[in-house]
């Protein structure tokens, strides 16, 4: 009813406005344009103003009356303008009221058809207020569209999360069924069976799975990680130990020249193959970190690495055996270089192998490296001489000259070795100062060997040779 009255008043106002407009237009049509002489009218206005000024000159009462008339005219114009503004505002408010009543009637009909729970209504109110604190009829539409857009985005994200959760559940159910087919025999991978999986989980937990998990972590920490930690430490420290044990070897080599104004020095270089580096990285994966503070997923990942290592270490396959030797034999993790240095310690030549050397130089280098290797293997850390020092050389110095032979023997003597030389009667005069006894073996008939021993004993008044006999 109110809406109808509003529309009626609006129609009446429109009719009145049209009537006034028609009256004005009719008066304009009846107007004689000849009477609208602007210059003549202006002249008459000036004349009337001059006459009025003449009449009011010296007449204070008339002048005061004119001022009061002018003031009354201004107040009348102000009141007229205010009345027009009030009429316009009233008309505008009336129109707005009619529109609001129409909207209210429409919304009342719409809301009455849909029941919104109080919680939803409060949530919508909060969303609207978050977009704009003060709402009116002009802004509520824009705010509503923003709220609707936000709800659409949230709904899309929720649907995506739902699809991801469904996919993750089905993937997990598939893995569970593949790993434990008996436990999931009556279940499918569909998310519709989630209640069955939940019941299965509750049954597993009721049988003490968390306690078994803690025991699993404890065993990994106390057994596997500690043992692999020692193994990793031994593999890492092995090159350092080799370098420490090679120092006395170099000290012994420094007591005998390798060549004229040259000494031999052995340098240890760490050289690990990619598979050894990967083995060390896997050991670090097992050892590093805290097993007690991490979750079960991380512990299972470490256990997978540990299980793979243990399976390969225990394997009898030829490839795995070779791999195990390369990884665990730390002698394979280092290489040796022979440096020729001058008395000042400057490196004059470097030998990775005997390639590029003559026959005598090659044998000389081999003898020196052999002496160093024997010294390394047969002595303890603090021993000056090897605990077992007997060395047997077959075909000794068959390609070396007397200078190199004497130099090599000096090296063996400096290392504290007892030499047994098998030689086809070559360089006997050269090795004589180092020999304390001779055993001659003959087999002229090719059927029976004859042995003759000769022990050297210096004469009582003979000078003692500088070289210490072996």
Check whether residue 394 and residue 347 sit in a common domain: no
**Distances in Å between the alpha carbon of 367 and those of 12, 137, 371, 411?**
129, 105, 6, 9
**The pLDDT of residue 156:** 92
Per cent of the chain over pLDDT 90 is: 4
278 vs 319: CA distance, rounded Å: 16
* 257 touches 270 (CB < 8 A): no
CATH number, domain with residue 389: 3.40.50.300
- Residue 307: inside a domain: yes
63 vs 58: CA distance, rounded Å: 8
Domain end, chosen from 337, 352, 367, is at 352
Model confidence at 158, in pLDDT bands (50, 70, 90)? very high
- Partnered with residue 335 across adjacent β-strands are 269
Check whether residue 257 and residue 306 sit in a common domain: yes
Least confident span in 27-41, 153-167, 213-227, 423-437: 213-227
Mind listing the pLDDT tens digit for each residue in 412-443? 887 788 888 888 777 778 888 888 888 888 88
**Distances in Å between the alpha carbon of 9 and those of 13, 53, 104, 139, 470?**
6, 50, 19, 27, 139
**Strand pairing class (437-442; 450-455):** antiparallel
119 vs 406: CA distance, rounded Å: 105
For residue 148, pLDDT beyond 80: yes
Find the Cα–Cα–Cα–Cα dihedral 405, 406, 412, 416, rounded to 10°.
160
Per cent of the chain over pLDDT 70 is: 85
Residue whose C-alpha is closest to residue 172's, from 189, 188, 159, 148? 189
For residue 466, pLDDT beyond 60: no
The encoded tokens of residue 156 equal 């899309």
For residue 468, pLDDT beyond 50: no
> pTM for this one?
0.42
95 vs 62: CA distance, rounded Å: 48
- Residue 300: inside a domain: yes
Check whether residue 263 and residue 334 sit in a common domain: yes
Q: What angle do CA 364, 367, 371 make, to 5 degrees?
A: 145
- Residue 329: inside a domain: yes
* 354 touches 380 (CB < 8 A): no
64 vs 56: CA distance, rounded Å: 9
Residue whose C-alpha is closest to residue 409's, from 424, 393, 388? 393
Distance of CA 277 to the CA centre of its chain: 21
For residue 381, pLDDT beyond 70: no
Domain residues for the domain of 320 are 224-352
Check whether residue 260 and residue 345 sit in a common domain: yes
- Residue 74: inside a domain: no
49 vs 55: CA distance, rounded Å: 10
Average pLDDT value for residue range 83-89 = 89
Cβ-based burial of 442 (10 A; exposed 0-12, middle 13-18, buried ≥19): exposed
Least confident span in 40-49, 158-167, 184-193, 319-328: 40-49
Q: What angle do CA 272, 277, 279 make, to 5 degrees?
A: 125
- Residue 390: inside a domain: yes
Residue whose C-alpha is closest to residue 302's, from 288, 285, 281, 317? 285
Check whether residue 392 and residue 456 sit in a common domain: yes
- Residue 171: inside a domain: no
For residue 35, pLDDT beyond 70: no
Domain end, chosen from 336, 352, 368, is at 352
**The pLDDT of residue 230:** 82
Average pLDDT value for residue range 180-201 = 84
Check whether residue 338 and residue 439 sit in a common domain: no
Model confidence at 464, in pLDDT bands (50, 70, 90)? very low
- Give me the chain's average pLDDT, please: 80
245 vs 233: CA distance, rounded Å: 18
Residue whose C-alpha is closest to residue 354's, from 309, 389, 399, 311? 399
* 384 touches 416 (CB < 8 A): yes
Average pLDDT value for residue range 278-287 = 84
Check whether residue 234 and residue 306 sit in a common domain: yes
Check whether residue 242 and residue 333 sit in a common domain: yes
335 vs 350: CA distance, rounded Å: 13
Check whether residue 324 and residue 428 sit in a common domain: no
Check whether residue 344 and residue 403 sit in a common domain: no
DSSP string, 302-371: HHHHHHHHHHHHT---HHHHHHHHHHH-GGGGEEEEEEEE-TT--EEEEESSSTT--HHHHHHHHHHHHH
Contacts of 424 (CB under 8 A, 6+ apart): 395, 398
- Report the domain count for the chain: 2
- Residue 256: inside a domain: yes
Check whether residue 239 and residue 348 sit in a common domain: yes
The continuous run of DSSP H or E covering 39 comes out as: helix 38-56
Least confident span in 291-295, 435-439, 466-470: 466-470
199 vs 216: CA distance, rounded Å: 24
- Residue 64: inside a domain: no
Residue whose C-alpha is closest to residue 258's, from 347, 173, 377? 347
The three-state secondary structure class of 464 is coil
Model confidence at 96, in pLDDT bands (50, 70, 90)? confident
Q: What angle do CA 417, 420, 425 make, to 5 degrees?
A: 135
Check whether residue 411 and residue 343 sit in a common domain: no
């Amino acid at each position: 009813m109110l809406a109808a009255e509003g529309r009626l008043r609006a129609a009446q106002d429109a009719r009145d406005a049209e009537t006034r407009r028609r009256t004005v237009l009719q008066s304009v049509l009846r107007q004689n344009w000849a009477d609208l002489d602007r210059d003549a009218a202006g002249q008459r206005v000036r004349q009337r103003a001059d006459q009025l000024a003449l009449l009011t000159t010296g007449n204070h009462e008339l002048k005061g009356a004119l001022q009061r008339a002018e003031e009354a005219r201004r107040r009348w114009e102000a009141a007229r303008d205010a009345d027009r503004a009030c009429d316009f505002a009233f008309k505008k408010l009336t129109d707005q009221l009619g529109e609001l009543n129409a909207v209210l009637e429409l919304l009342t009909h719409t809301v009455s058809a849909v029941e919104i729970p109080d919680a939803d209504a409060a949530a919508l109110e909060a969303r609207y207020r978050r977009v704009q604190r003060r709402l009116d009829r002009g802004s509520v539409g824009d705010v509503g569209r923003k709220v609707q857009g936000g709800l659409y985005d949230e709904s899309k994200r929720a649907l995506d999360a739902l699809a991801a959760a469904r996919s993750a559940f089905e993937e997990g159910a598939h893995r569970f069924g593949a790993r434990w087919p008996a436990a999931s025999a009556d279940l499918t991978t569909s998310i519709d069976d989630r209640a069955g999986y939940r019941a299965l989980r509750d049954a597993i937990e009721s049988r003490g799975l968390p306690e078994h998990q803690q025991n699993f972590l404890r065993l990994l920490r106390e057994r596997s990680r500690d043992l692999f930690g020692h193994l990793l430490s031994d593999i890492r420290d092995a090159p350092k130990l080799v370098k420490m044990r090679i120092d006395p070897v170099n000290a012994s080599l420094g007591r005998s020249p390798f060549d004229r104004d040259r000494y031999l020095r052995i340098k240890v270089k760490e050289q690990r193959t990619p598979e050894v580096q990967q083995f060390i990285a896997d050991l670090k994966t097992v050892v590093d970190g805290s097993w007690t503070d991490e979750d079960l997923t991380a512990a299972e990942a470490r256990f997978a690495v540990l299980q793979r290592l243990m399976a390969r270490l225990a394997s009898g396959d030829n490839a795995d055996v070779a791999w195990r030797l390369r990884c665990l034999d730390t002698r394979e993790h280092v290489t040796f270089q022979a440096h020729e240095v001058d008395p000042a310690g400057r490196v004059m030549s470097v030998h990775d192998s005997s390639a590029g050397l003559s026959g005598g130089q090659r044998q000389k280098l081999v003898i020196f490296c052999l002496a160093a290797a024997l010294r390394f293997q047969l002595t303890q850390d603090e021993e000056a001489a090897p605990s077992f020092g007997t060395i047997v050389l077959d075909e000794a110095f068959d390609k070396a000259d007397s200078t190199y032979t004497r130099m090599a023997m000096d090296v063996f003597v400096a290392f504290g070795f007892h030499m047994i030389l098998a030689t086809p009667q070559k360089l006997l005069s050269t090795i004589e100062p180092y020999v304390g006894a001779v055993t001659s073996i003959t087999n002229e008939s090719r059927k029976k060997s004859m042995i003759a021993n000769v022990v050297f004993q210096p004469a009582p008044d003979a000078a003692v040779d500088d070289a210490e006999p072996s």
